[in-house]
Amino acid sequence: MFIGAIFSNMIIGLTGTPGTGKTSVSRLLQEHGYNMLYLTDLIKDECLYSEVDEGRDTLVADMDRVFSRVCELVGDDEGVNIIDSHMAHHIADVVIVLRTAPSDLRERLNLRDYSDAKIEENVEAECLDVILVESVEWCQKVYEIDTTGRMAEDVVSDVEEIISGVLSGNDAEVYQKYMPGSFDWSGGIL
Ligand SMILES: Nc1ncnc2c1ncn2[C@@H]1O[C@H](COP(=O)(O)OP(=O)(O)OP(=O)(O)O)[C@@H](O)[C@H]1O
């Protein structure tokens, strides 16, 4: 799907496995003046889901309704809109995937009230590049940022560098630096 690629109305998806830092980075981007849309909150607040998967402790989003609602919310906004969600790559055309090495990700998720099974499911998904692969399948332009052992502020600088490159219309150098497929976490599940 594709909402907005004309430069007066650009939608950028910030995606990644849970725990890779999307929301932490998004809050900082909001402080920097970007329009942020927190999709998980929107789905919960407006009941934009078709079922509750109790086994996996998650909501199954109704993507058609989510897509329509996002169009309504940001369709006419000028400037850059950023969607924070592990599903953002199903909506935006330009997508930034946050990545975290498995050991770091497990440490971050251990701080949450998650079951062991849910932690391992997410770590395994990160090892197998699940969100990255989906992003490349769905989106025209994908960038990847490693958050491992870094401060969220440094990741924000990377995101802003990517946005500048995209807005300039000549992102060859930036694309080279943040090209998808740069990290191999597959050793993490061996
Ligand atoms: N470089 C980093 N960038 C972002 N967050 C980081 C970084 N290093 C450590 N963290 C920590 O990792 C955690 C990431 O949680 P956060 O809720 O931002 O992730 P998320 O990807 O939005 O997860 P979810 O999809 O479940 O909402 C936070 O506790 C944050 O402080």
Give the pLDDT confidence of 45-85 residue by residue, as tens digits: 999 999 998 887 788 999 999 999 998 888 766 778 999 99
Which atom of ligand 1 lies at the shortest distance from residue 154's CA?
1
Distances (CA, A) of 10 to 60, 64, 89, 132, 177: 26, 20, 14, 21, 21
Inside any domain, residue 55 = yes
Q: Tell me which residue has its CA closest to atom 16 in ligand 1.
A: 21
| Calpha distance 15→188 (Å, rounded) | 21
121 contacts 17 by C-beta, under 8 angstroms: no
Q: How many domains does the chain have?
A: 1
For 4, phi then psi, to 5°, come to: -150, 120
Task: Report the pLDDT value the prediction gives residue 156, as an integer from 0 to 100.
Answer: 98
The enclosing domain of 110 has a CATH number of 3.40.50.300
Inside any domain, residue 17 = yes
Mutate to test the pocket of ligand 1, among 24, 36, 83, 119 (most ligand atoms within 8 A of CB): 24
| Paired residues of 81 in beta bridges | 11, 35
| Paired residues of 64 in beta bridges | none
Which atom of ligand 1 lies at the shortest distance from residue 148's CA?
1
pLDDT band per the 50, 70, 90 thresholds, residue 41? very high
ipTM of predicted assembly, 2 dp = 0.98
| Calpha distance 136→47 (Å, rounded) | 28
99 lines ligand 1 (CB under 6 A): no
pLDDT band per the 50, 70, 90 thresholds, residue 189? low
Inside any domain, residue 184 = no
Inside any domain, residue 33 = yes
Inside any domain, residue 188 = no
Domain encompassing residue 124: 9-179
Inside any domain, residue 91 = yes
Output the pTM of the full model: 0.92
Which atom of ligand 1 lies at the shortest distance from residue 84's CA?
22
Inside any domain, residue 2 = no
Inside any domain, residue 189 = no
